[in-house]
Structure 1
């Protein structure tokens, strides 16, 4: 009985840790997306410098999951929970890494631009949709809501459409301003970073569905 209670205390602590990590990653993403308007170099540097925090937390979560697997050998739903947390842990760390990549990209664009260079794109709608996807995926995890998780697949269509629009806009801008081609390519790569974050949110949603229903699902695009 004592071992059983100890197991569930460890599970509860693990849940708290992964949700704390999710909150930190959401904040990191929000700050990175704000850079698309402010291009604040100090904020960009702060995001890059603090990357180790998420990396350390990812390692701690994985080590705790492996310890629970080894000591308690969970089965059925408890096993699905541990497996899902291991995978979601990895997805959150990747989202944080992409937020760092956005910060680096903004710094590169800011340093290389000519006096009259502008990004030529309003990334706020795409950034807002991606942040909505990440928040929804974490909310679905907290509430163990498979229906909410499935709505994230539909949001991804809008993100992909905005990425395509960004690509077309950048190609047109390169035709008009070939001297700014390098910076414009970096501008487009921000769209790719945002799209990848959306893919990570989809992966989290898939793990929530697996946790709740025991069903392995993949979206039509099967993001990696």
Structure 2
């Protein structure tokens, strides 16, 4: 049985505050990334993409936070030399901010494709509907992954990991649909390829959300579940209850 209450609890009040500050900054970074993703999916679905400069400005905030949190982690490790659950929490934060930064980059790619696809929805309405559904799916995964980290809940993290295969299947279906459009009429190729780049970015976001869930499972259980079969991950989470 893992005592999750021991995570982030220390003799030193100052150390505890530093750990809590790290967690809060990660969640703040996650909130910006969530909004970037939400706006990107909306732009792709509606064809109304805001100025890319705004997106780049938000992405720079994400990059700045990643560097700032990384520096704080290095300083905390050097000064406090955390061990056991504290060290796992710090390592988890270090891994999660990398995935969050990459999600921001992928969301920016979706934006770029959305600006090039503003006139394509009438011709490919069903493909755009499927792309929007995929976008909503990975948004839900990201929200669940961040919630799992915030609550140190491996069950929530496991639910996110289970969704990744579904996202992969949705992505493959959209690719097949776009291949059909390209075969039907060569004039569809450019639009179809742009949409495929967008949904590829969304699929990658799903991968990163799963990573965040796996990092949370490691934080709570001490078991590194990257590259581990989902059935084994379920066992590890069950044993930790």
Tell me the TM-score normalized by structure 2. 0.85
1:79 matched residue in structure 2: 87
Q: 1:114 to 1:19 in 2, by over 3 A?
A: closer
2:207 matched residue in structure 1: 199
Q: 1:115 to 1:154 in 2, by over 3 A?
A: closer
Whether 1:104 and 2:118 are equivalent positions in the alignment is no
Query: 100-109 or 196-205: which moved more?
Result: 100-109
What do the CA deviations read for 1:92-125 (whole angstroms, capped 9, x no partner)?
Answer: 0111111111001111233xx5796446511221
| Aligned 8 A contact 1:65 1:86 in 2 | yes
5 Å matches for 1:144-183? 144-183=152-191
| Pick aligned residue for 1:17 from 6, 22, 25 | 25
Q: 1:96 to 1:160 in 2, by over 3 A?
A: same
Post-superposition offset of 1:189: 1.4
CA distance in 2, matches of 1:208, 1:115: 38
1:128 matched residue in structure 2: 136
| Aligned 8 A contact 2:36 2:58 in 1 | no
Structure 1's unaligned 5+ residue stretches are: none
What do the CA deviations read for 1:168-221 (whole angstroms, capped 9, x no partner)?
Answer: 100100011212212211111111111100000011011000000000002568
Task: Give the CA RMSD over aligned residues.
Answer: 2.1
CA distance in 1, matches of 2:83, 2:229: 31
What do the CA deviations read for 1:114-162 (whole angstroms, capped 9, x no partner)?
Answer: 7964465112211111011000100100111111111112211211111
CA distance in 1, matches of 2:100, 2:156: 18
Structure 2's unaligned 5+ residue stretches are: 1-10, 231-241
| Aligned 8 A contact 2:47 2:115 in 1 | yes
Post-superposition offset of 1:31: 0.7
Post-superposition offset of 1:50: 2.5
Whether 1:209 and 2:223 are equivalent positions in the alignment is no
Aligned residues: 219
| Aligned 8 A contact 2:161 2:214 in 1 | no
CA distance in 2, matches of 1:85, 1:115: 40
What do the CA deviations read for 1:3-31 (whole angstroms, capped 9, x no partner)?
Answer: 92221111111111111111111111111
Query: 151-160 or 161-170: which moved more?
Result: 151-160
CA distance in 2, matches of 1:208, 1:129: 20
| Pick aligned residue for 2:61 from 53, 71, 82 | 53
